[in-house]
Amino acid sequence: MDDTFHNEQLSGLRSLERKVSFGFIVALLVLLLIGALSYFSVLRSREDNAWIDHTHQVLDSLSGLVSDLNAAETKERGFLLTGREEYQQAYREAVKRVQEQLQGIDELIRDNPIQGGNFGILAPLVAQRLTLMQSHVELRLAVGLAPVQAALMKNDEGNELNGAIRAAVSKMQGEENSLLQEREKRAELSSLQTRAAITTGGILAIALLIAALYVIREGFKRGRAAEAELHHAKSALEQRVEQGVAELTRTGAAVQAGEERLSRIIDSAMDAILTVDEQQRITMFNPAAEAMFKCPAKDALGTPLERFLPARFRATHVEHMRAFGQ
């Protein structure tokens, strides 16, 4: 009964251990999956935001190009009309910023073949406009104000270049705005996916935690019940052991009392009594035997029985004992 109870408890504990282990493995796998999804969603969201920033940089550079080009034209006109050095210096700085803007735009759009083609139209137009303005400045330095005023009055080429530049810039801005809308939608979708993954992961983690706590609570409950039953069984077993020990004590006392009575009977017997073991060695030698054989018991114990037999009967005695054994 105790072995059956013990085996049942071990089986229950092993089943609980398997359930808890399986639950934690599943929870770990689910959390790893959710973590991986969240990680890749965050990476995708960061990449989308980076492309949005890239688009804004292109748009800002295009706006900066137009602004710097207008500034260069304004400073050029100021120098042409006044001949003052500060206007010429401001014009040079504006031209330098225009060139830097062109270089920056070229680097930003290298990954976009469409914008590369648009830039291939814009860059030569800007270069022509800068060349035309520089020719006016050099003319002002060489011949004075009057010829330059006549050239400004007939600035049809400059106006045409400005119109073409604005058209090219507008086309590139339209392309970037389309990309911006597309990338913002993708970024918003990535953000929604990231939030959904994190929210789902949190809910699943809480659900798995609750399930694990429930299983562990049930396991502790079963463990306490098993412990109570085991304690009860242990108490019953201890009681039976105590009863068995008491019974053995009583039996031992009875045996000892019987042995003492037998010893007294043998010691008080009038006849000589000897007992031997399997090797025919003397194990008991009572007082009557001591008197008969004139030998103290301490000298007789452990010696062969045949020492007390006449020599002529020893062989016969051995044969009798062998026949008796058979």
Write down the pLDDT at residue 124: 94
Same domain for 314 and 218? no
Q: What is the 3-state secondary structure (H, E, C) of 113-167?
A: HHHHHHHHHHHHHHHHHHHHHHHHHHHHHHHCHHHHHHHHHCCHHHHHHHHHHHH
Residue 242 lies in a domain: no
Domain boundary among 203, 226, 249: 226
Residue 232 lies in a domain: no
Q: Tens of pLDDT along 154-171?
A: 566 778 888 999 999 999
Distances (CA, A) of 291 to 270, 287, 300, 301, 306: 10, 6, 12, 15, 18
Q: Is residue 11's pLDDT more than 70?
A: no
CATH number for the domain that contains residue 297: 3.30.450.20
Residue 196 lies in a domain: yes
CB 286 within 8 A of CB 273: yes
Average pLDDT taken over every residue of the chain: 80
Residue 150 lies in a domain: yes
Provide the residue range defining the domain that includes 291. Answer: 274-325
Work out the pLDDT band at 22, boundaries 50, 70, 90: confident
- The C-alpha angle 100, 66, 123, rounded to 5 degrees, equals 60
In the chain, the number of structural domains is 2
Q: Tens of pLDDT along 113-141?
A: 998 999 999 999 999 999 988 988 888 78
Domain boundary among 188, 210, 226: 226
- Residue 315 tokens read as 């062989």
Which amino acid is residue 232, in one-letter code?
Answer: H
Percent of the chain, pLDDT > 90? 23
Collapse the DSSP code of 82 into the 3-class scheme (helix H, G, I; strand E, B; otherwise coil) and give the result.
Answer: helix
Q: Is residue 243's pLDDT more than 90?
A: no
Residue 269 lies in a domain: no
Q: Tens of pLDDT along 173-212?
A: 999 999 889 888 888 887 787 777 778 777 877 877 787 7
Write down the pLDDT at residue 275: 86
- Residue 250 tokens read as 């009583």
Distances (CA, A) of 182 to 7, 107, 112, 186: 67, 21, 14, 6
